[in-house]
Structure 1
Amino acid sequence: MPLWQIFHPPTTFQTSESKSALARDATALYARILPAFYVNVIFTSVDPSSFYIGGISRPSNENDIPFIRIFIQNIARTLPSSPTGPTKEQTRFLTLVDEVLKPHIEDKGYEWEYHAIESSKNLWKIQGMVPPEAGSEGEEVWRKEGKAVKL
């Protein structure tokens, strides 16, 4: 399950269309290999008086550029890692995330930051069921059904 939490000021992502567009693009990033319903995107509007960067509320009189903070949690799949730096797979993932965010954030002139973490699949269930193994027939059934079903 990828979970994208998007923290933004009230002046951004004001319409369901703008939220839906980013959610669709984030889902498309994963839907090549995962059932689309695994992807969760949550938009949280945060008042500038509750959103501080470097001790300064954002946006503020000192910096009126909206700031977007994104937290990505991946559970369904993990990427190879290395203690010496990003792997080519991790770099590719970050490049794909950048491509997803570009039209929705960068091209609008917003400032942003994101990070991604990977959690253990061992502590994940959907509808009380442990998801099928990656690439399995069961996962393909879930993909076709568009929901978790008993196998």
Structure 2
Amino acid sequence: MPLWQIHHPVGAYSEQDKRAFATDITAIYTAVGLPAFYVVVLFHEVPAADYYVGGEPSDATVRIVVKHLARHLDDPDRRRVMTERLDATLHPYTRDRKLHWEFHVEESPRDLWMIAGLWPPDPGTDAERAWAEANRPLPY
């Protein structure tokens, strides 16, 4: 599952912005065959008095932590392409709003991950395609 935690200034995003942002993020992963329900996006509003960058309060910074479990990329070229795709997806919600942004991606081992008591199916399998089609976990 990709888990996105978006730490942002208070009021940076409306409910409509958050929905659009989460939809754009989800599209990254469904485009490569992941079930939409794998994608979890959490928005965390942080007041400037609690948000420091370089030791100074910030009211214009977005910090994103992305955790990947379903897919891992070992090839440096594919990692670069993925990172640049994530960055491009962020632009309407960061650069275009004149916000400073930073993100990083962490990869967790698949064998430390379960959904609803089930081990997620291996990538590209019929079971994973069934999960994507049903948009929920299914016994297999």
TM-score (norm 2): 0.96
SS at match of 1:68: strand
Decide which of 63, 73, 82 is 1:69's aligned counterpart. Answer: 63
Deviation at 1:48, TM superposition (A): 1.1
- Aligned residue-pair number: 139
**Over residues 52-87 of structure 1, what are the superposed CA-to-partner deviations in whole Å (9 max), with x where a residue is unaligned?**
11111112xxxxxx1000000000000015xxxxx1
Aligned residue for 1:57? Answer: 57
Distance 1:48 1:104 in 2: 18
Match runs of 1:2-151 below 5 Å? 2-13=2-13, 15-33=14-32, 34-59=34-59, 66-81=60-75, 87-151=76-140
For structure 1, the residue ranges without an aligned partner over 5 or more in a row are 60-65, 82-86
Higher CA-based Rg: 1
Q: Tell me, what secondary structure is at the counterpart of 2:103? A: strand
Q: Which residue of 2 aligns with 1:62?
A: none
Q: Give the structure with the higher percent helix.
A: 2
Partner letter of residue 71 of structure 1?
V
Q: Deviations over 1:9-41 (max 9, x none)?
A: 10301x211001110111101112211110110
In 2, distance between residues paired with 1:11 and 1:111? 15
Q: Distance in 1 between matches of 2:112 and 2:31?
A: 24
Task: Give structure 2 stretches of 5+ with no counterpart.
Answer: none
Tell me, what secondary structure is at the counterpart of 1:99? helix
For the residues of structure 2 that align with 1:115 and 1:98, how far apart are their CA atoms? 10
Please report the RMSD computed on the Cα atoms of aligned residues, expressed in angstroms: 0.9
* % same residue: 36
* Cα deviation digits, residues 85-140 of structure 1 (max 9, x gap): xx111110111011100111111111011100111000000001100110111001
- 4+ runs deviating over 2 angstroms: none
